[in-house]
Amino acid sequence: MRVIFMGTPEFSVPTLRAIADAGHKIVAVYTQPPRPAGRRGLETVPSPVQQEADRRGFAVHTPMSLKDLTAQNAFRALAADVAVVVAYGLLLPEPILNGTRLGCYNGHASLLPRWRGAAPIQRAIMAGDKETGMMIMKMDRGLDTGPVALSERVQIGADMTAGELHDQLMTVGAELMVRALSKLEDGALALTPQAQDGVLYASKIEKGETRIQWSNPAAEVHNHIRGLSSFPGAWYEAGAKAERVKVLRSTQAEGSGEPGMLLDDDLTVACGRGAVRLVEVQKAGGKPMPAQEFLRGAQLKKGMKLQ
């Protein structure tokens, strides 16, 4: 089929590759415009999707908006059979949703209607969910409200991070989208309306919620840490200079004490109820490192308190 692909981050790239490798014709790729990068932001870097599209010689479009008539006419002029959307980042107005012969199909990283919105992977882990999945949905005017075509469930391990789940889901999503397009081409893709119960919204992760709150129960602290790993990263401060340290990996542990207190010399930290042991950390400007390596250069001892 003639396919318009719409996506931006690394999560979208496997689906673009899979669709092209399955023999569909990519008539255009829509992605977010290049963004400033580097510490000074002096250079602009194309999105991961644009980099993949450029490597394959696909036509790339980077509009700031799809609300104007010129952009909508250009989209329709591509005469595509279907548009595939995976983490694109722009709202699609109705003329775009209806701008292909068969409509727009979205690969979404949750078990809808749970975790509609921007950050379903992080929110699922932060909430302590034991499973999530990928769903292929036909898009409508609402936010992730369209009928579902295909789905596949994925288990969330007790210590799995958002980064690990991200990588698993983007592979699952690519395979699922290829299956959906095959069924759509054959006229055999059935659509099921989403349930009315169990709707939850996965709001964007804000900087103000990334600091670790040691007063929370250990399970919540652990889920917070792994839900924000590896980006943007949950963090604490310690020492006279209040050095900020990201925690990239943790596990629940035995022990109790004043929230934030180090219970041993192995980075076990007391929480409001129970404790967590920090397994992998990253100092500001540094590289991720195992806790034992970090401790060799850190002035942290049993009885000290992390903020």
* Binding site as annotated, residues for (6S)-5,6,7,8-tetrahydrofolate: 110-113
Measured distance between the N- and C-terminal CA atoms of the chain, rounded to whole angstroms:
56
Cβ distance 306 to 247 under 8 Å?
A: no
Pairing outcome for strands 131-138 and 234-238: unpaired
For the annotated binding site, the residues are 110-113
* Cα–Cα distance, 217 to 235 (Å, whole number): 16
Please state, in angstroms and rounded to a whole number, the distance separating the CA atoms of residues 110 and 51. Answer: 26
Q: Are 281 and 288 in contact (CB under 8 A)?
A: yes
SS (H, E, C) 234-269: EEEEECCCCEEEEEEEEEEECCCCCCCEECCCCCEE
